[in-house]
Structure 1
Amino acid sequence: MQANVSIVGTSACGRGGRVELLGRYSLSQALERLLADAPCQYRIVDARTVRITAAAAAEAPPPARLPADQPMLVSELVVTAAKRPASLDLLPAGVSAISREQIAVTGAADVGQTVGQVAGVLTTNLGPGRDKLLIRGLSDGAFTGRARSTVSTYLDEAPINYNAPDPDLRLVDVERIEVVRGPQGALYGSGAVSGIYRIITRQPDLDSLEGGLAGTLALTKDGEPSREVEGYLSVPLAAGHAALRIAAYHDYRGGYLDDTRTGEKDVDQTVRNGGRLALRLRVSDDWEMNLRAATQHLRTKDAQYIFPAMGVRRVSPFREGHDNDFSHAALSLAGRVGEIELSSSTAYVHHTFTSQYDASEAGVFNRPGETGAYLENTRVNMLVEDLLIRSGSGGRFNWLAGAFGSLTLERSPSEANFVSAAGRTVTTYEEFRKDRLEEAALYGEADYAFADGWKATLGGRLFRSRVRTSAEIEVAPGIPLARSRVVGYARSFDGFSPKLALQRAFANGSLAYALVSEGYRPGGFNTAGVTYLRQERTFFQPDRLRNYEIGAKLRLFEGRMALRSAVYYDEWNDIQTDQYRPTGLSYTTNVGDARIVGLETEVGYDWDFGLSVQVNALLTDSRLANPNPNFTGPVAEELPGIPAASGGVVAVYQRPLPGTFVMRFVGEASYVGRSSISFDAAATRRMGDYVRAKISAEVASDIWTAAVFVSNPLDDDSDTFAYGNPFSFRAVRQVTPQRPRTVGVRLAANF
């Protein structure tokens, strides 16, 4: 076809066979003729995207029972990561997607359980609701502080994080996960230094009533049982015009660590409750409105790090708990005026998280023998607007333009206390900090098909940010050199983030591309400390990353094999990183520059006898240069938290059973190599070199699913994260072992 239209899902028409059509037709006329005798049908997603599905299945949700010859892992998916629907195999970037079906069969309950399924995505393991995502080996360190996250996490069209840890949303009633690797500053702005992680939820069905309920029970070796309950319901309110969708869940993850000091067992349990509400309104044939709301409340009773000398046990004078509450509301409007498509997304995020640490080892806030505690609490309110217009034609020239604005208010009180010999609690340090960040940007992108199969893309983002910070610090008398004080700072940043891509599409669906892109983060201020900060420690500079990338996406063996691979070279200047002072208080600084070389690959293959296998790998090498002379301690030679090699494999084997049933076996494993914990070479700890694994078996019909699974079947206790407490990690080795072997059953029903 010569219409510059992406056609995805062609495997639904069967293997082999070619059809040709000569002449001038409209898109629908051409598709009617091409698919006249095929066991499949089409649906026009938009002017540039067509989805092919099995006959009589275009609008119906996929059943629990999947035909044994239907591709499970090597599927063609439409994604919206480029701010327009397109096949991921036709985008000139490192893009991956995890479908709803793959999420279901692998039992991926949250972000941490998806990272081994796509290339180049890793996560720290501080604990539920406390982790940070890392993509493509572009790590600014393993700690979470004031520096903006390098990965921008999205819930549908709205960003949901700034410098907070990942909220660890449970993946209930989710349509797919989209991952874009590499800096995305042109389209997504500040914070997308290493990539985008998008959670796309399912929309309400305007015509059909549907719902589902699922429950899981699991037993962990030497731990308490875990249980999960989740459900969803989609109800048409006015057929073809309005529908409501509700999803809710309760997740109790039993503890497995015992406290030797108090004798309490299984102290590290986590409770996660949440839900979503979506209202879809089709205003007219050309306009649609969506109202969405989501909330999640997460409570972890105690930390999950241990001291190796004590065995797999906790030793703490009190619980080092963590609370993470997330709320989100969004309004989106999309439609067209003539050939122009318009969309607006307005979102509000309220995110609070609180952590308590044993600060007895700090020696600053308490006297020897006294119990010290440090409590930090952060409340973030973020309002975001993204207005987008784009061309609606499928011609040689296509474009989009947008305006973005956001306001982020953050309040983060913290305090240090100790219990005196008389049993009285004394506050020795308090900080009341407020941050205000205003961002505005104009962005655009245009692509031109200048020859048969060839396309060039040019884009960029003009941005301006303003940061205002104030803090009141109160320090109790008696601490040497301590000073109470009030500080206030403000600064603005502006610039331009470009993007340039060249791609060559081939007749068999393969693609080769070259890409240059950038990411950036604004600077900011440090305030915490018992003493005044030196001027060079008060402010940290913006950082910027430029990416040079060459990649290929191949469809081979009549579509049975999908191969996506890219090699990249990155220049990262003035890297921002969160670090800890000897007192245990955090600060952000610029550590220096880095040069990173990497190779990422994803390969999937579908066999006719029902086996699908997907393999991914990332090889990366980083070198630090031009270290900041004001960085505390010697600088390490490589980026922390990132191994030289990582990868994963997912295998699904399915066979039909009598009636409407199918039997399915699933195995997945991921490997994380050795890495260090910190940029500070004097305080570094080695971690990693472990395999995470899970196997499951299930029997499913169109309605019912019953599954059994085993995670960590070899009961491996390797160190996944060599950190847990900022006040003692330099003095005492801390490790985070894998969760012990866990066996579970899951039952689900859909209607």
Structure 2
Amino acid sequence: MAALRVAGKLGDADFVYAGNWVDHDVSSTLDASALSASAFGVPAPALYVEQRRNRLFDQEIRLSHTGSGGLSWLAGLSFMDVRNHLLGTISNEAGDVTVATGTQGVRELSAFGDIRVPLSRTLSLDIGGRLFHSRTEEERGAKRARVEVSVSRSGFTPSLALSWQAGGRDFLYLRYAGALRPGGLSQTGTGSAERFDSDELQTFEAGWRHSNPAGLTINADAFLTTWSHLQSDYLLSDGLIGTRNVGDARIHGAELSVDWAPARDWALSAGLVVQSALLTKTSDGTEIEDRHLPVIPRWTARWGLSRSFELGGWNGSAGVRLNYLSRSRLSFDPGLDRQMGDYALADVDLLLRKGTWGIRMAGSNLFDCRADSFAFGNPFSLGKGPQYTPLRPRQWTVGFTRSW
């Protein structure tokens, strides 16, 4: 990985150039004995070995300016080049059989901008957007079949926000934004590959922020997101994972957070997110019993308490945090769907600092919760029973730091 950032002034505007180069290789090995003979004709015991190489080159140039009258703007250009390579083989003592290959190349050029216009002393309007042109070239193979596709797409994703500074303590805003995720090729259970479309998001948001001299800060937010042509993973009959468009979805909910300093050196923080994420229409019109979107919990909550103090010439702070994540599901696909979540975690930490020296002691997962954080592991043996990704066990750490 390599990165370069250059910043400076260009006339009255702030200039920033940022460039990144990432070359990343990942290899994974799974026991494929349960399906190797029936799906690929390879006698058990057998392993599935997957090798991925991902390369990313992106660069961005942007100019920004904030005027004395409250008018501010940002404009920029970006270029991204992504290359992804996949090779999957089934291996046993007799040799290797290639069962999955893929190459994807994406090039995208975009121009983006945002301008904030003060409508009055307390009211501001933000208008922004991103204009892009992308070209995707992809090749997928499974067994002896291969599919190639080349797709070019141009589009515009807008953003709009209206904010009101209601006195010195309250801030209200309305916001809209759109986004798009490109489609691609996915293997199918027929030994070939097929194309899935881009999915698009439209998000509407309304919020309120309040602060007062008593040390209380409240943030409240309500949101609505519509999701068209939702992409979702599903389990193929041979144990490999495919992607397809499952339909349209809607997510709506609310978020509340409170930060309060009830007394000197004390700080209390709490938050709650409640949301409903449902599939509103399937791509093929079929009815499904559970329309909840995968991986999205219905609600989450957090609570934290901390205190700063002095002890024998040391400056210290101590805190405790509680977090809860409600139940969620893994996938729409009946063969891949599992329940997960529904757990609480408790953490504590103590930090002492004197001069350039520091000591940190921390405990995580204090109650040693063994809940399932992600109900998936090996797709080739998923049909044989439940799979779990347990939380990290209770852990205590001690660290020493020194600054120069």
When normalised by structure 2's length, the TM-score is: 0.93
Task: Compute the displacement of 1:527 (Å).
Answer: 4.0
Instruction: Tell me, yes or no, if structure 1 residue 595 matches structure 2 residue 250.
Output: yes
AA matched with 1:684 = D
Q: Where does the alignment leave 5 or more consecutive residues of structure 2 unmatched?
A: none
- State which of 286, 300, 303 in structure 2 corresponds to 1:646: 300
In structure 2, distance between residues paired with 1:410 and 1:337 = 37
In structure 1, distance between residues paired with 2:277 and 2:78 = 33
Instruction: Tell me, yes or no, if structure 1 residue 466 matches structure 2 residue 139.
Output: no
Secondary structure in structure 2 of the residue aligned to 1:684: coil
Q: CA 1:589–1:701 in structure 2 vs 1: closer, same or farther (change >3 Å)?
A: same
In structure 2, distance between residues paired with 1:626 and 1:528 = 22
In structure 2, distance between residues paired with 1:630 and 1:430 = 32
| 1:734 aligned partner | 387
Task: Compute the displacement of 1:429 (Å).
Answer: 3.2
1:407-446 alignment to 2 at 5 Å? 407-418=81-92, 424-446=93-115
In structure 2, distance between residues paired with 1:391 and 1:703 = 38
AA matched with 2:149 = Y
- State which of 54, 57, 64 in structure 2 corresponds to 1:390: 64
Secondary structure in structure 2 of the residue aligned to 1:593: strand
In structure 2, distance between residues paired with 1:591 and 1:407 = 28
CA contact (8 A) 2:235 2:335 kept: no
Secondary structure in structure 2 of the residue aligned to 1:489: strand
- State which of 301, 317, 322 in structure 2 corresponds to 1:669: 322
| 1:355 aligned partner | 28
In structure 1, distance between residues paired with 2:278 and 2:145 = 39
- State which of 331, 336, 360 in structure 1 corresponds to 2:9: 336
| 1:605 aligned partner | 260
Secondary structure in structure 1 of the residue aligned to 2:148: strand
| 1:744 aligned partner | 397
In structure 2, distance between residues paired with 1:371 and 1:470 = 30
In structure 2, distance between residues paired with 1:340 and 1:739 = 48
Q: CA 1:411–1:339 in structure 2 vs 1: closer, same or farther (change >3 Å)?
A: same
Q: CA 1:708–1:334 in structure 2 vs 1: closer, same or farther (change >3 Å)?
A: closer
In structure 1, distance between residues paired with 2:99 and 2:336 = 27
Secondary structure in structure 2 of the residue aligned to 1:364: helix
Task: Compute the displacement of 1:682 (Å).
Answer: 5.6
- State which of 676, 679, 684 in structure 1 corresponds to 2:332: 679
1:579-590 alignment to 2 at 5 Å? 579-590=234-245
Q: CA 1:488–1:364 in structure 2 vs 1: closer, same or farther (change >3 Å)?
A: same
Task: Compute the displacement of 1:509 (Å).
Answer: 4.5
Task: Compute the displacement of 1:472 (Å).
Answer: 5.0
CA contact (8 A) 2:55 2:82 kept: yes
AA matched with 2:163 = Q
Task: Compute the displacement of 1:542 (Å).
Answer: 0.8
Task: Count residues with an aligned counterpart.
Answer: 402
| 2:343 aligned partner | 690
CA contact (8 A) 1:458 1:501 kept: yes
Instruction: Tell me, yes or no, if structure 1 residue 622 matches structure 2 residue 300.
Output: no
Q: CA 1:435–1:608 in structure 2 vs 1: closer, same or farther (change >3 Å)?
A: same
| 1:376 aligned partner | 50
Q: Which moved more, 1:351-360 or 1:504-513?
A: 504-513
AA matched with 2:158 = P
CA contact (8 A) 2:145 2:191 kept: no
1:22-33 alignment to 2 at 5 Å? none
Secondary structure in structure 2 of the residue aligned to 1:412: strand
Secondary structure in structure 2 of the residue aligned to 1:737: coil
CA contact (8 A) 1:455 1:504 kept: yes
Instruction: Tell me, yes or no, if structure 1 residue 637 matches structure 2 residue 291.
Output: yes
Q: Which moved more, 1:691-700 or 1:612-621?
A: 691-700
Secondary structure in structure 2 of the residue aligned to 1:592: strand
Higher relative contact order (CA 8 A, sep 6+): 1
Report sequence identity in percent: 26
Secondary structure in structure 2 of the residue aligned to 1:607: coil
Instruction: Tell me, yes or no, if structure 1 residue 401 matches structure 2 residue 75.
Output: yes
Secondary structure in structure 2 of the residue aligned to 1:386: strand
Task: Compute the displacement of 1:583 (Å).
Answer: 1.1
In structure 1, distance between residues paired with 2:383 and 2:275 = 27
In structure 1, distance between residues paired with 2:389 and 2:100 = 30
| 2:150 aligned partner | 490
Task: Compute the displacement of 1:627 (Å).
Answer: 0.6
Task: Compute the displacement of 1:433 (Å).
Answer: 1.9
- State which of 173, 177, 182 in structure 2 corresponds to 1:513: 173
| 2:40 aligned partner | 365
Task: Compute the displacement of 1:384 (Å).
Answer: 0.6
Q: After superposition, give the CA deviation of every residue in 1:498-551 in whole Å (9 maximum; x if it has no partner).
A: 111100013324310001111111111124666234xxxx11111111011100
Instruction: Tell me, yes or no, if structure 1 residue 719 matches structure 2 residue 379.
Output: no
Secondary structure in structure 2 of the residue aligned to 1:727: helix
Task: Compute the displacement of 1:712 (Å).
Answer: 1.6
AA matched with 1:390 = S
In structure 2, distance between residues paired with 1:690 and 1:540 = 35
Q: CA 1:699–1:332 in structure 2 vs 1: closer, same or farther (change >3 Å)?
A: closer
In structure 2, distance between residues paired with 1:387 and 1:443 = 10
When normalised by structure 1's length, the TM-score is: 0.51
AA matched with 1:546 = Q
In structure 2, distance between residues paired with 1:453 and 1:501 = 14
In structure 1, distance between residues paired with 2:291 and 2:127 = 35
In structure 2, distance between residues paired with 1:665 and 1:385 = 42
In structure 1, distance between residues paired with 2:288 and 2:238 = 18
Task: Compute the displacement of 1:662 (Å).
Answer: 2.1
CA contact (8 A) 1:429 1:530 kept: no
Q: CA 1:582–1:359 in structure 2 vs 1: closer, same or farther (change >3 Å)?
A: same
Q: After superposition, give the CA deviation of every residue in 1:330-359 in whole Å (9 maximum; x if it has no partner).
A: 212222233222221111111221211111
AA matched with 1:434 = T
In structure 2, distance between residues paired with 1:411 and 1:600 = 40
- State which of 223, 232, 241 in structure 2 corresponds to 1:568: 223
Secondary structure in structure 2 of the residue aligned to 1:729: helix
Instruction: Tell me, yes or no, if structure 1 residue 456 matches structure 2 residue 119.
Output: no
CA contact (8 A) 1:396 1:448 kept: yes
CA contact (8 A) 2:147 2:192 kept: no
1:67-216 alignment to 2 at 5 Å? none
In structure 2, distance between residues paired with 1:689 and 1:446 = 43
Task: Compute the displacement of 1:697 (Å).
Answer: 2.6
| 1:553 aligned partner | 209
Task: Compute the displacement of 1:572 (Å).
Answer: 0.5
CA contact (8 A) 1:365 1:429 kept: no
Task: Compute the displacement of 1:589 (Å).
Answer: 0.7
| 1:704 aligned partner | 357
Task: Compute the displacement of 1:634 (Å).
Answer: 4.8
In structure 1, distance between residues paired with 2:328 and 2:155 = 34
In structure 1, distance between residues paired with 2:7 and 2:84 = 31
AA matched with 1:520 = L
CA contact (8 A) 2:359 2:400 kept: yes
1:302-321 alignment to 2 at 5 Å? none
Q: CA RMSD in A?
A: 2.1
Task: Compute the displacement of 1:556 (Å).
Answer: 1.9
In structure 2, distance between residues paired with 1:469 and 1:630 = 29
Greater strand percent: which structure? 2
| 1:196 aligned partner | none
1:498-509 alignment to 2 at 5 Å? 498-509=158-169
